[in-house]
Amino acid sequence: MNISSYIIPLLLAIVAIIGMGKRINVYSALTHGAEEGLTVLLRIIPSLVGLLTAVSMFRASGAMEWLSSLCAPLLSLFGIPAEAMPLMLIRPVSGGGALAVASDLLASHGPDSYLGRVAAVMLGSTETTFYTIAVYFGSAGITKTRHTVPAAIAADLTGFFAASFFVRLLFGA
Amino acid sequence: MAMAYMWGGMIVISVLFGLFNGNMEAVSNAALNGARSAIDLSISMAGILCLWSGVMEIMNVCGISTVLARCFRPVLRFLLPKASQDSETVAAVSANISANLLGLGNAATPLGIQAARRMARGCNGVASNELCLLVVLNTASIQLLPTTIASVRAAYGCATPFDILPAVWLSSICSVTVGLLVSWLLSRRKGEHG
């Protein structure tokens, strides 16, 4: 029996026990959250359709391969797989685009492949940087963002590098 | 607008490559399959995404956000000493961070904006060091359970979609640390803004 098969059922049980112990209606909280999840999904479906169409065409035409091979020498220096380049380019700009590129990688290489895991970890450990910066500074009325962009990009690049490094370390290449 | 250029650019480049490589039929099929796979993916990840959103909501109602927020107060007092003098700003920032940790993006953004607005008062459109730090914190992902990507992995037939958790946490820690260090270094270099 694999220890990891205990994690999800136990987590669900713990959450249920804590909630009921606090006299919380866990079921209505669950359905309310599920509704929220569905709203999020509904909102990304239109952009996912548009972007997966574009990403699939981009791959089928050979442009994706060209873009990856263009950056391969630089990326291999840092141990980042070249196929992850399109994901790194779109990640800071569009959350839906990043999801489309990552799911394209997962579909073509498999979710348990080295590349599939790297794509997943990259997506999980970075954010839609430029969107976030625009929203925060836009609503706070800031026009001089000073060192925010370089620092945020440094964080993103570290995340991309670390994703490749830790997946290789924990799962092997 | 950026997305319009990006989407349009990808389509145009794909067609040019299709013409040049003579594989327009594959590009044509890919367009239709891509659109269909978006719905396939959405449907196969919907159940798991809803389940985890529900679990996160239970944790939220149980008050885990308040506990998390309390844990982060001392860290915030260290990172944002000036903003910490205003109790409402501290409350908004710590709620923003705990919502981010739980992956409740819809809840995190308004709280973060509220804090950013308070911190931006009287600075004439120039971001203070602490405001830069708050935004950098929000551009780095600190989500404890990356439920969306786990749902996508499960949708593609992965039996253990959360086995990437340690790698995600380690990468997030590295990324946040570098983001904070670089902002700190750059703010010292241009320290006159205070």
Å between A73 CA and nearest CA of chain B: 22
Q: Which amino acid is at A93?
A: V
pLDDT of residue A103: 94
ipTM over 0.85: yes
Please tell me if residue B13 touches chain A, with a CB cutoff of 8 Å.
Answer: yes
CA separation for the pair B172, A104 (Å, rounded): 23
Mean pLDDT for B74-89 is: 90
Q: Would you place residue A172 in the very low, low, confident or very high pLDDT band (cuts 50, 70, 90)?
A: confident
Q: How confident is the model at residue B1 (pLDDT cuts 50, 70, 90)?
A: low
Mean pLDDT of B47-67: 88
Helix (H, G, I), strand (E, B) or coil at B140: strand
Shortest Cα distance from A163 to chain B (angstroms)? 6
Sign of the dihedral defined by the CA atoms of residues A155, A159, A161, A166, in that order: positive
Question: In chain B, where are the structural domains located?
Answer: 28-193
Whether the per-residue pLDDT at A140 is higher than 70: the answer is: yes
Q: What is the DSSP string of A40-107?
A: HHHHHHHHHHHHHHHHHHHHHTTHHHHHHHHHHHHHHHTT--GGGHHHHHHTTT-HHHHHHHHHHHHH
Would you call A54 and B10 a contact, using CB atoms and an 8 Å cutoff? Answer: yes
Would you say residue B192 has pLDDT above 60? Answer: no
Confidence of residue A4 (pLDDT cuts 50, 70, 90): low
Which residues numbered 64-123 in A keep a CB inside 8 Å of some CB on B?
A: 66, 90, 93-94, 97, 99-100, 102-103, 106-107, 110-112, 116-117, 120-123
Q: Contact A159/B171, CB-based, under 8 Å?
A: yes
Contact status, residue A61 vs residue B11, Cβ threshold 8 Å? no
Q: Where are the domains of chain A?
A: 45-171
Identify the burial level of B158 via C-beta atoms within 10 angstroms of its C-beta, where 0-12 means exposed, 13-18 middle and 19 or more buried: buried
Token pair in block for residue A162 = 């670390």
pLDDT at A1 over 60: no
| Closest by Cβ to B42, choosing from A48, A136, A159 | A48
Helix B24-61 with A95-109: angle, nearest 10 deg: 110
Higher-scoring residue by pLDDT: B194, B137: B137
**Residue B194: per-residue pLDDT:** 46
pLDDT top residue among A165 and A48: A165
| Averaged pLDDT, B114-118 | 93
Among B32, B107, B102, smallest CA distance to A57 is for B32
Size of interface A-B (CB pairs under 8 A): 332
Full-model pTM: 0.89
pLDDT (tens digit per residue) in B16-50: 999 999 999 999 999 999 999 999 999 988 998 89
Q: Do B164 and A124 touch (CB under 8 A)?
A: yes
Lowest mean pLDDT among A45-49, B46-50, B141-145, B189-193: B189-193
